Structure 1
Amino acid sequence: MTPSNTSWLSPAERRLAQIRLAEDTGEADEDTREDSSLPIRAWKGLIAAISDVKVLLFSLIAFFDLMGMGFVNFFPTLTATLGFSTTITLLLAAPPWVVAAIICVVNGHHAGERFFHVTIFWWMSILGYIIALSTMSVPGRYISLFLLASGHTGFVMTFVWVSNSIPRPPAKRAASIGLVSGIGNLGNLVSSFLWRSEWSPQYEPSMIIGVASLVIAIAFSFACTAIIHQRSRQPGSRQGGGPTGRPDGRPGSAAKTPVQILVLTMQRNVSCIIVWAHKEVDELLGSIADVIWMKSPDRASFLAECKPGGKYDGIVGIYRENESAKIISVYDKEIINGLPQSLKWIAHNGAGYDPVDVLACKDRGAVDDATATTALYLLLSTMRQYSVAERSLRMLKWKPAGLNRISHDITGKTLAILGLGGIGLRLAELVQSFPMRVIYHNRRKAADAPPYCEYFSNVEDMLAQADVLSVHVPLRKETEGLVGEKWIRALKPGAIIINTARGKIIDEEALIRALEDGHLAAAGLDVFPNEPEVNPRFLDFPQITLLPHMGTENQDSQKKMEVRALQNLRDFLLTGMGKDLVLEHRGLSKVNSRL
Structure 2
Amino acid sequence: MEILERDPHIELRVNSEDRGCTRDELVSGFQWADGALTMLSDKIDRELLEVAPRLRVVANYAVGYNNIDLTAANERHVVVTNTPHCLAEATADLTMGLLLAVARRLVEGDGLVRAGLFKGWAPEFLLGMDLHGKTLGIIGLGEIGTCVARRARAFGMRIVYCARHEAPTASELQAERVELPELLRRSDVVSLHCPLTAETKGMLGAAQLAAMKPTAYLINTARGACIDENALIEALRTHAIAGAALDVYDGEPNVKAGFMALKNVVLAPHLGSAATETRVTMGHVAISNILAVLNGGIAPNPVN
Using the size of structure 2 for normalisation, the TM-score is 0.82
Amino acid in the other structure paired with 2:183 = M
More strand by share: 2
Q: 2:240 aligns with which of 511, 515, 519?
A: 519
Amino acid in the other structure paired with 1:267 = S
Q: 2:222 aligns with which of 501, 504, 508?
A: 501
SS in 2 for 1:318: strand
**Residue 465 of structure 1: CA displacement?**
1.2
SS in 2 for 1:415: strand
Q: For residues 266 and 383 of structure 1, what CA distance do their matches in structure 2 show?
A: 39
1:578 aligns with 2:290: no
Larger mean CA deviation between 504-513 and 475-484 belongs to 475-484
Question: Can you give the 5+ residue segments of structure 2 that lack an aligned partner in the other structure?
Answer: 79-86
**Residue 476 of structure 1: CA displacement?**
3.3
1:320 aligns with 2:38: yes
* 1:515–1:559 CA distance, 2 compared to 1 (3 A): same
1:543 aligns with 2:301: no
SS in 2 for 1:429: helix
Correspondence list, 1:45-84, <5 A: none
SS in 2 for 1:518: coil
**Residue 458 of structure 1: CA displacement?**
1.6
Q: 1:251 aligns with which of 1, 5, 8?
A: 8
1:266 aligns with 2:15: yes
1:334 aligns with 2:55: no
1:466 aligns with 2:187: yes
Q: For residues 224 and 62 of structure 2, what CA distance do their matches in structure 1 show?
A: 15
Question: Quick one: percent identity of the two aligned structures?
Answer: 30
**Residue 342 of structure 1: CA displacement?**
6.2
SS in 2 for 1:524: strand
Q: 1:355 aligns with which of 60, 67, 80?
A: 67
1:384 aligns with 2:104: yes
Amino acid in the other structure paired with 1:377 = G
* 1:300–1:350 CA distance, 2 compared to 1 (3 A): closer
Q: For residues 346 and 356 of structure 1, what CA distance do their matches in structure 2 show?
A: 9
More helix by share: 1
Amino acid in the other structure paired with 1:298 = E
Q: For residues 449 and 563 of structure 1, what CA distance do their matches in structure 2 show?
A: 31
* 1:246–1:569 CA distance, 2 compared to 1 (3 A): closer
Contact 1:389/1:400 (8 A) holds in 2: no
**Residue 300 of structure 1: CA displacement?**
3.9
Question: Can you give the 5+ residue segments of structure 1 that lack an aligned partner in the other structure?
Answer: 1-244, 253-259, 274-293, 306-310, 586-595
Contact 1:385/1:403 (8 A) holds in 2: no
Correspondence list, 1:184-333, <5 A: 247=5, 251=8, 265-267=14-16, 298-303=25-30, 305=31, 311-312=32-33, 315=34, 317-322=35-40, 325=42, 330-333=43-46
Q: Which protein, 1 or 2, shows the higher relative CO under an 8 Å CA cutoff with sep ≥ 6?
A: 2
Contact 2:218/2:243 (8 A) holds in 1: yes
**Residue 447 of structure 1: CA displacement?**
2.8
SS in 2 for 1:451: helix
Q: For residues 282 and 154 of structure 2, what CA distance do their matches in structure 1 show?
A: 26
User: Which has more radius of gyration?
Assistant: 1
Q: For residues 570 and 247 of structure 1, what CA distance do their matches in structure 2 show?
A: 12
CA RMSD of aligned residues (A): 3.1
1:559 aligns with 2:293: no
The residue number in structure 2 matching 1:440 is 161
Report how many aligned residue pairs link the two structures. Answer: 289
Q: For residues 4 and 287 of structure 2, what CA distance do their matches in structure 1 show?
A: 15
**Residue 380 of structure 1: CA displacement?**
0.7
Larger mean CA deviation between 374-383 and 553-562 belongs to 553-562
Amino acid in the other structure paired with 2:45 = D
* 1:447–1:565 CA distance, 2 compared to 1 (3 A): farther
SS in 2 for 1:430: helix
Q: For residues 574 and 435 of structure 1, what CA distance do their matches in structure 2 show?
A: 50
SS in 2 for 1:463: helix
Q: For residues 145 and 66 of structure 2, what CA distance do their matches in structure 1 show?
A: 18
